[in-house]
Amino acid sequence: MVQMLGSYTQTSKDNYEEFLKALNVGFILRKAALASTPVMTISEAGGKWTMITKTTVKSIELNFKLGEEFEEETTDGRKCKTTVTMDGNKLITTQKAMKAGEKDVVAVREFNDGGLTMTMTCD
């Protein structure tokens, strides 16, 4: 199995601004997100997972058990019911917006020998 635990530094953000626009993220927050270089650290102990994403501006910590729903406030301010599952070498985060009119997001983190590729979609 491919290594999932460890630290990962963002190296590219293809179409990220368009994704943020689709989520109705404001101009200033969008520009801050595009200018940052996040570092994500993933750890697990006894079935409890932690994902910490740090930038120079903010640090976000998610604590979860695979397959168990939890409430999350995202960096763009959406309140979501979130579930993280594992499928082979992928961690899949599904955020269901709690407020009508806000978008749901699926983030697929795919791990391989070269690191991590994260693909996010919204609808």
pTM of the model: 0.89
**pLDDT score, position 79:** 96
d(CA 106, CA 111): 16
Q: What is the pLDDT of residues 75-87, one digit of tens each?
A: 888 999 999 999 9
Q: What is the pLDDT of residues 4-62, one digit of tens each?
A: 999 999 988 899 999 999 998 989 888 888 888 899 999 999 999 999 999 877 889 99
Q: How many Å separate Cα 68 from the centre of its chain? A: 16
Q: What is the pLDDT of residues 49-70, one digit of tens each?
A: 999 999 877 889 999 999 999 9
Query: How many angstroms separate the first and last alpha carbons of the chain?
Result: 31
**pLDDT score, position 1:** 65
Do 121 and 14 contact (CB within 8 A), yes or no? no
Do 110 and 90 contact (CB within 8 A), yes or no? yes
Q: What is the pLDDT of residues 86-113, one digit of tens each?
A: 999 999 999 999 999 999 999 999 999 8
